[in-house]
Structure 1
């Protein structure tokens, strides 16, 4: 028997998982003391049950200790297993030591989380130098993709779209969305000089003047690339772009700056709760959880 818990902000996804599999919904209290330390209390018994916790790991430094306390307490209370549904998975960017002494946080965080839970489901993690999550995670792990949902939204809402990917790394992903949306696409050349300093080069757009640009990226953090691209598109006489991101982090005032940069609309998936959410991920998450929480997820996903 399984029981589904959620950290604050992820109740809708947890409800969908529990409803589809006729599971019990667990109750947990998560809050912070005035000094920033975390308080966690499981208000539902978990003895002998398979526990599923839904907790996105945006702002991971604020959440990871509470998640660790939850997992430790669930095991102490007799949980049979603990699975994590993290719609957004943090600490995926630093996957290489670029300068001597740098922490390769993707590997370290993966090892830490792999000790905490028994399996992991996430959506479009920022895999760059790794092809699969199980190259760094030692537990059964499943990365699902929002491509179909994004393509479906584009088909339903935009006439004559032109998809625009932010850099060469995005080409395979953007091309798949474009194919499913039956839309053309182009890929930008991006030079990143710092966390907030981005230079973008755009190819000739003369043949696309009657199309609506759709800027698409897996993560919108500072929104620097989209803001710079929107300015170039305006100078080229293109229509205001629609901006789509799987994960809308919107660091600081990034959302307000992007809105003010002459864009038509900003749409994100609901992996991180935000006013821009317009693409629901519950159905694909439920399907993934049903697969990975089966009798032998280790064999199913090929982890050792």
Structure 2
């Protein structure tokens, strides 16, 4: 059976090459450009007939990048690929996992149906599973979740002097507690009050700094960091703590 092929999409060529080298696969380049009206052009540079094709993609701008992912998977299927896998370090559209107000779209399920319809399996890193027990609740294809806690903890141990792991809200506790356990350091979780998509307040009223935390380096940890508004708000209690010393 021929070796798999790995294709990088959306600035993921380096990650695709690293993965291909690790699993003994061949990299296949994807040619892409935009027509004058903004439509996407894609071309797979080598034959993929009867090969397993693995797409590595960064989709941190999902509205722009998901369409290319779906088009590429469809092209690979049409070109004879035996199976198609997706390696998406960041899995988009997982935050809207319930209908908080009448009429809202539960886009996590919509995205799950979209991607499940174009691929056979998916690998991602620590998806936002707040109200879902697993990705099986959203995706009908085979999925695998890679935990990042061990790698993050090793980096913190190597790079940070006397760390204090801080989560900006209650949802981050599962990752914060695990990383702190592996890095053998203390941790705390704040309370977040959201007023809008870009308007959040983070409070440290659930805990008070004590002597054991003085001189430690705060490390903010969360599962989704995009606009940075929550992380920025979480930084202000750090400033107050430093002044209280």
TM-score tier after normalising by the smaller chain length = over 0.9
Residue 25 of structure 1 corresponds to: 27
Deviations 1:143-163 (A, max 9, x none): 111101110011011121111
CA distance in 2, matches of 1:222, 1:66: 23
| Greater RCO structure (CA 8 Å; 6+ sep) | 1
Which residue number corresponds to residue 62 of structure 2?
A: 60
- The offset of 1:238, in angstroms, is 5.8
Residue 227 (structure 2) aligned to one of 222, 231, 244: 222
Secondary structure, aligned partner of 1:217: coil
1:222, distance to aligned residue in structure 2 (A):
2.1
Contact 2:10 2:59 in 1 (8 A): no
Give the Cα–Cα distance (whole angstroms) in 2 for the partners of residues 237 and 50 of structure 1. 54
How high is the TM-score relative to the length of structure 1?
0.76
- Contact kept, 8 Å, 2:180 with 2:187, in 1: the verdict is yes
Pairing partner for 1:36 from 17, 38, 50: 38
Distance 1:223 1:96 in 2: 23
CA–CA separation in structure 1 for the residues paired with 2:95 and 2:107: 8
**Which residue matches 1:73?**
75
Task: Choose 31-40 or 78-87, whichever is displaced more.
Answer: 31-40
The DSSP-based 3-state class of the residue aligned with 1:46 is coil
Aligned to 1:98: 100
Deviations 1:203-229 (A, max 9, x none): 211322221111111221221222222
Q: Does the aligned pair in 2 maintain the 1:30–1:66 contact within 8 Å?
A: no
In the alignment, the residues of structure 1 paired with residue 111 and residue 10 of structure 2 have an alpha-carbon distance, to the nearest angstrom, of: 22
Aligned length: 239
Unmatched 5+ residue regions in structure 2? none
**1:8/1:30 contact within 8 Å kept:** no
Partner of 2:214: 209
- TM-score (normalised: structure 2): 0.93
Which of 234, 237, 243 aligns to 2:242? It is: 237
- The Cα of 1:236 is off from its aligned counterpart by 2.4
**C-alpha spacing 1:161/1:238, structure 2 compared with 1 (3 Å):** farther
Aligned to 2:118: 116
Which residue of the partner structure matches residue 244 of structure 1? Answer: none
1:232-267 alpha-carbon deviations (Å, 9 max, x no partner): 22122269xxxxxxxxxxxxxxxxxxxxxxxxxxxx
Paired with 1:179 and 1:105, the residues of 2 have a C-alpha distance of 34
Question: Retained in 1: the 8 A contact 2:10–2:65?
Answer: no
Alpha-carbon RMSD across the aligned residues, in angstroms, is: 1.4
**Does the Cα contact within 8 Å between 2:124 and 2:145 map onto a contact in 1?**
yes
Q: Distance in 1 between matches of 2:170 and 2:147?
A: 19
SS at match of 2:100: coil
Say whether residues 1:144 and 2:146 are aligned partners.
yes
CA drift of 1:21 comes to 2.4
Whole-angstrom distance in 2 between the partners of 1:192 and 1:117: 35
Match of 1:128 in 2: 130
CA distance in structure 1 between the aligned counterparts of 2:52 and 2:234, rounded to whole angstroms: 46
Judge conservation of contact 1:209–1:238 (CA < 8 Å) in 2. Answer: no
Cα separation, 2, equivalents of 1:8 and 1:196:
26
